[in-house]
């Protein structure tokens, strides 16, 4: 359902993405692993055009776009059909939990406040935050903030949800509650792309693992293929550095 083809992106004279290919089937949970600075976040941001590739193509279901001839309507549609969960939560501090979740429904999807509130409550319930709906971000833990971010992403009912290191900013004792929610979400069948350093978690929940290194996909396969028999010394070295074994 989602296909990225030969994605290239440079900042100035520095080439960041050097021809990335990625294909995600409906219902897949694809985890992207790899060293810092390798272009994982940039790749996710290419999907919703927060980062602008110099060349390559994207296909999302029936939408197809070549980055060399940008189509505003296609970008808008892709943005409407995807949702991103950010490392730094990205919740609005001046809005309550439920207002944060309602916001894209009202502002982007033009739903009535009544309908938006109803959907937001369902999603807050799903991430275990229904009782916190009227709290402000300053009253919440990092884990609760990220669960708010996940509820907001789910509320737009995206075709694909993009997680960018959703637990990397959390204190260790808060990681578990967020991973549990992500596990529930991914096992509900929503197509997911997850950038993570939680190797054991990626191994458990993913249908496929993609190893990015220096701006390309350097290896990919089933969790077993990637973790049990790493195809290259570079991948084996990376997995060792992440203390998977």
Q: What CA–CA distance (Å, rounded) separates 128 from 195? A: 23
Residue 82 binding Mg ion, by CB under 5 A: no
Q: What CA–CA distance (Å, rounded) separates 103 from 132? A: 17
The smaller minimum CB distance to ligand ADP, of residues 8 and 180, is found at 8
Residue 42 binding ligand ADP, by CB under 6 A: yes
Pairing of strands 82-85, 208-213: unpaired
Burial of 114 (0-12, 13-18, 19+ CB in 10 A): exposed
Instruction: Identify whether the C-beta of residue 39 lies closer than 8 Å to the C-beta of residue 212.
Output: yes
Residue 41 binding ligand ADP, by CB under 6 A: yes
Tokens of 98: 């439920």
Instruction: Single out the segment in contact with Mg ion by CB under 5 A; choices: 38-46, 67-75, 180-188, 227-235.
Output: 38-46
Shortest distance, position 85 Cβ to Mg ion, whole Å: 13
Residue 152 binding ligand ADP, by CB under 6 A: no
Residue 37 binding ligand ADP, by CB under 6 A: yes
Q: Which residues pair with 83 in a beta bridge?
A: 161
Q: Out of 7, 20, 38, 60, which residue is the one contacting ligand ADP (CB under 6 A)?
A: 38
Residue 100 binding ligand ADP, by CB under 6 A: no
E-only strand ranges, 77-197: 82-85, 160-164, 191-195
The smaller minimum CB distance to ligand ADP, of residues 178 and 195, is found at 195
Shortest distance, position 32 Cβ to ligand ADP, whole Å: 8
Tokens of 145: 């903030």
Q: Which residues pair with 220 in a beta bridge?
A: 210
Q: Out of 2, 4, 16, 102, which residue is the one contacting ligand ADP (CB under 6 A)?
A: 16
Residue 41 binding Mg ion, by CB under 5 A: yes
Residue 11 binding ligand ADP, by CB under 6 A: yes
Shortest distance, position 192 Cβ to Mg ion, whole Å: 17
Q: Which residues pair with 4 in a beta bridge?
A: 22, 58
Shortest distance, position 116 Cβ to Mg ion, whole Å: 30
How many residues are present in the chain?
245
Residue 53 binding ligand ADP, by CB under 6 A: no
Instruction: Locate all alpha helices (DSSP H) within 132-189, ordered by sequence.
Output: 142-155, 172-187
Positions touching Mg ion (CB under 5 A) are 40-41
Positions touching ligand ADP (CB under 6 A) are 11, 16, 36-42
């Amino acid at each position: 359902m989602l296909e990225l083809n030969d994605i290239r992106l440079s900042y100035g004279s520095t080439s960041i993405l050097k021809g990335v290919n990625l294909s995600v089937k409906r219902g897949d949970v694809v985890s992207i692993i790899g060293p810092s600075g390798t272009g994982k976040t940039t790749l996710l941001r290419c999907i919703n055009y927060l980062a602008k590739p110099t060349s390559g193509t994207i296909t999302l279901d029936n939408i197809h776009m070549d980055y060399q001839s940008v189509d505003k309507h296609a970008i808008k549609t892709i943005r409407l059909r995807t949702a991103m969960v950010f490392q730094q939560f990205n919740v609005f501090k001046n809005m309550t939990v439920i207002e944060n979740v309602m916001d894209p429904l009202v502002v982007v999807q033009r739903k009535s406040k009544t309908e938006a509130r109803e959907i937001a409550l369902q999603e807050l319930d799903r991430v275990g935050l229904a009782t916190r709906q009227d709290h402000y971000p300053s009253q919440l833990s990092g884990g609760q903030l990220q669960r708010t971010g996940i509820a907001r992403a789910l509320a737009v009912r995206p075709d694909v949800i993009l997680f960018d290191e959703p637990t990397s900013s959390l204190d260790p004792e808060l990681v578990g509650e967020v991973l549990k929610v992500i596990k529930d979400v991914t096992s509900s069948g929503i197509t997911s792309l997850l950038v993570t350093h939680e190797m054991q978690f990626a191994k458990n929940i993913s249908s496929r693992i993609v190893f990015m290194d220096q701006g390309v996909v350097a290896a990919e396969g089933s969790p077993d293929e990637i973790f049990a028999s790493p195809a290259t010394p570079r991948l084996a070295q990376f997995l060792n550095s992440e203390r998977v074994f």
